[in-house]
Amino acid sequence: MTESAAAPNVPAEPYTVTDVGGHVPVLLDDFVGATTVSVKGDDREYRLRGAGRRVGRAVEFHEKEPASAAAETPVWMIIEERDGNIVAEPPAS
């Protein structure tokens, strides 16, 4: 799940994606399949583990620990903004 000492507060802006699978993201397809994603927002950084799947012009990233059998997992939306930046919108609280 998300690694942080405190639960994240949802920032007004989407989180900036700083890393996916050990490299700077280039394409949304970088988020498809099992991977890790680092995001930064609200003056904090988080590491997400899970798997993504393409849904139109975005990627649904299902955050999940590999050994977890939980039926429901938080879902982040990974999108490419008009300026080419890739950002992550956190799950609804």
Q: What is the pLDDT of residue 9?
A: 52
CA triplet 35, 87, 48: central angle to 5 degrees? 30
Predicted TM-score (pTM) of the model is: 0.78
Q: Mean pLDDT, consecutive 10-residue segments, the chain of 93 residues?
A: 50 86 96 96 92 96 73 88 94 79
pLDDT, one tens digit per residue, over 68-90 is 566 678 899 999 999 999 999 99
Is-contact 32 25, C-beta < 8 A? Answer: no
Q: Using CA atoms in the order 14, 1, 44, 30, what is the torsion angle rounded to 10 degrees?
A: -50
Residue 14: partners with Cβ closer than 8 Å, 6 or more residues away: 41, 79, 87, 88, 89, 90
Instruction: Look at the block and give the residue holding tokens 């903004």.
Output: 81
Q: What is the pLDDT of residue 23?
A: 96
